[in-house]
Structures are given as structure tokens and as C-alpha cells.
């Protein structure tokens, strides 16, 4: 699989990585019931196919995703284990109530807890999951993450869902190795500001939800949207309801002729569009089964042509799907 260096970290990562959000199962912002055995099989299959990094977070399934990832890693020979990225800053109580906590003390506790759940002695990339406008100054939180790097518990430090102002404030304290923003054909906002900022500052970018949480998978339908269970967060999202849903499904259909030309899935085209965006290092793609991995793995080696990208741009204008810049995303 094709690789790119993540910023200046020296880590050459495949341009698609395994995302474990759904591995956490049901719960706040969960994806519904999920088999741990299938999750582990999906992780192993992705690694077999060449994926060399996994992205997870403490809050996914309230620690459950990290435990499952840890089980998957433990079953592999050390030489075959992928790079491991996780996140901090979102915590929960005994009642499953989530909150932000970016105090240095909490960040340190979270790191130690993640190391235990994952069964490793260091984390390759440790990221602040979300900003907390009511928390301590971000400089204090970022300094705590950089201290973990100095101590060897973390190799590299990054952030997720930060705007340019927060990136600037963190960079003044110490280099931001990576940013993790959402980016898809439906959510293109990051292409307007934070991704160009990263390109100018030597910061790697790993984007999440490149298939718009399944809307651009090539298999999503209005009937499936209507049948989403209550414990699947998408059942409460405006993008999965009329009128946005109709526009999004029309965009999905517009990608189908391009997918047929290459003999790949619609999902592959959607993912390849994100990795074609200037400044993007790689994309996180989730999977709940080995078969789902096969549906997007070839995106790593697909190079969309200028004509392909122009066709996609035309489809965006025609369908009115999503939000954010269109041409600017590829300029």
C-alpha cells in the first residue's frame, strides 16, 4: 500500500488506516451492537492487506474499543503489529455520562489507562480528542501531552477537531505533529482553513469519516437510514434525514460511474477524493467486518485523474450535497 510521512514524525503511514470507532459498540455516539470477534477479525484482515496503523480513542465504547484493539494486537507477533494512535480529553463517569476534561492531571491518568487497555508500553500518536472551551488554557493541556512525549509514554503528539486559532496556540508551545479533522465529499469545511494551515506548518493530517459515516459507502439507502436503531448516533443526525439525505444519496449515485470505470467500490472513490486533497496525509476508515475492509482497502493505491476530480466537482454542484469549499479542496 502507498505510504506518506505523517508531518515530520518519520512515521510512514499507509494512506488509509483502520478506524475503531464502531469497534466500541453501542453507547453515547455509538454504532449499535458489535461483535468483538468480528472486530478483531476485521483488524487482522486490514493488517494482512497492508494497513499499518490503527486509530482509536479512550471514549469509544467507554474504553471498550481500546480493549478490543489491545486483544487484536496481543494476538499478533510484535513485528506484525501496526502503529497505534489514540486520543484523550473525553472522559465518562460510572453512569456513562461523557464530559471534557483537559486538565493535565486527567490527561496523565487517561494516558496510563489507555496504555493498560491497549497492553502496550507507548502510544505512537497521542491526540487531544476535542477542544474544551470551558477547560484550562489549551497551552496547559498541550504542555501536558508534550510532557508525555518527553517521558517516552508517547512518541508523537497531535490534536483532533481544532481550529486555526487553537492550532496556533499549541504550536507556540511545541510543534503539533498532526491534526485529525473530519473530511469527506459531504463535509469539506476543513479544506478551507485547517488543512492549509497544516500544510504550511509541517503538520500531518489524518482525516476521519471520509465516507461520511457510511453515506458514501455505495450501499447506503433511504430504507437503511429509516431503520437505524436508536443506539446508532446516525439516527439523530440531520445528514441522515430529509432533505439532506436525498442530496447525499444523489451524490453517492453520481460516484458510481467513476467506480465502475476503475472496477472499485463507490467507497473507494469517496476515500480517494479525500487523500487527493492537498495537505492530507491519510484517511481513517472504519470497518466492522473483514468484508468491509475489502470494500475500501484499494483506495490507498487509486490515483484519481484530473478528469475524475472534475466529474466529482460537477456532481457536487449538481446535487448540492454537503457543505464547505468544492474547487478549493483540490487547488
Instruction: Answer yes or no: are the C-beta atoms of 39 and 292 closer than 8 Å.
Output: no
Cα–Cα distance for residue pair 13/35, rounded to 1 Å = 27
Contact 118, 86 (CB under 8 A): yes
Q: Which of 60, 126, 208, 262 is catalytic?
A: 60
How far is it, in rounded angstroms, from Cα 274 to Cα 279? 10
- Nearest residue to 156 (alpha-carbon basis) of 193, 206, 102: 206
Separation of alpha carbons 145 and 178, rounded Å: 13
Residue with cell 502503529: 83
Q: What does the alpha-carbon distance between residue 213 and residue 234 come to, in Å, rounded to a whole number?
A: 8
Closest alpha carbon to 46 in 80, 18, 23: 18
CB 100, CB 134: distance < 8 Å: yes
Instruction: Count CB atoms within 10 A of the CB of residue 249.
Output: 18
Residue 208 annotated as catalytic: no
Q: Pinpoint the alpha helices (H) of the chain.
A: 36-48, 64-74, 104-118, 138-151, 164-173, 194-201, 222-226, 244-262, 266-276, 290-294, 306-319
Report which secondary-structure segment, H or E, holds 55. strand 53-55
Show which residues are catalytic.
60
Amino acid at each position: 500500500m502507498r505510504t506518506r510521512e505523517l508531518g515530520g514524525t518519520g512515521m510512514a503511514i499507509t494512506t488509509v488506516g483502520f478506524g475503531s470507532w464502531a469497534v466500541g459498540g453501542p453507547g453515547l455516539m455509538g454504532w449499535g451492537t458489535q461483535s468483538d470477534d468480528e472486530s478483531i477479525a476485521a483488524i487482522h484482515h486490514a493488517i494482512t492487506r497492508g494497513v499499518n496503523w490503527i486509530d482509536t480513542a479512550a471514549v469509544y465504547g467507554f474504553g471498550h474499543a481500546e480493549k478490543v484493539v489491545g486483544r487484536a494486537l496481543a494476538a499478533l507477533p510484535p513485528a506484525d503489529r501496526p502503529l497505534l494512535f489514540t486520543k484523550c480529553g473525553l472522559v465518562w463517569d460510572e453512569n456513562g455520562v461523557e464530559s471534557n476534561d483537559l486538565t493535565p492531571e486527567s490527561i496523565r491518568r487517561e494516558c496510563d489507562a489507555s496504555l493498560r487497555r491497549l497492553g502496550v508500553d507507548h502510544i505512537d500518536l497521542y491526540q487531544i480528542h476535542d477542544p474544551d472551551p470551558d477547560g484550562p488554557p489549551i497551552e496547559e493541556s498541550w504542555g501536558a501531552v508534550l510532557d508525555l512525549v518527553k517521558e517516552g509514554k508517547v512518541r508523537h503528539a497531535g490534536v483532533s477537531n481544532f481550529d486555526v486559532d487553537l492550532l496556533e496556540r499549541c504550536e507556540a508551545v511545541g510543534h503539533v505533529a498532526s491534526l485529525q479533522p473530519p473530511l469527506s465529499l459531504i463535509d469539506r469545511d476543513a479544506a478551507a482553513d485547517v488543512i492549509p494551515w497544516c500544510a504550511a506548518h509541517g503538520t500531518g493530517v489524518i482525516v476521519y469519516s471520509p465516507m461520511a459515516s457510511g453515506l458514501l459507502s455505495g450501499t447506503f439507502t433511504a430504507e437503511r437510514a429509516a431503520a437505524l436503531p436508536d443506539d446508532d448516533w446516525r439516527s439523530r443526525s440531520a445528514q441522515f434525514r430529509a432533505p439532506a439525505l436525498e442530496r447525499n444519496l444523489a451524490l453517492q449515485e453520481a460516484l458510481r460511474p467513476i467506480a465502475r470505470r476503475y472496477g472499485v467500490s463507490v467507497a473507494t472513490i469517496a476515500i480517494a477524493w479525500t487523500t487527493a486533497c492537498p495537505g492530507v496525509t491519510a484517511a481513517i476508515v472504519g470497518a466492522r467486518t473483514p468484508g468491509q475492509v475489502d470494500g475500501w482497502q484499494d483506495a490507498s493505491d487509486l490515483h484519481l485523474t484530473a478528469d475524475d476530480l472534475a466529474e466529482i466537482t460537477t456532481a457536487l454542484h449538481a446535487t448540492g450535497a454537503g457543505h464547505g469549499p468544492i474547487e478549493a479542496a483540490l487547488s
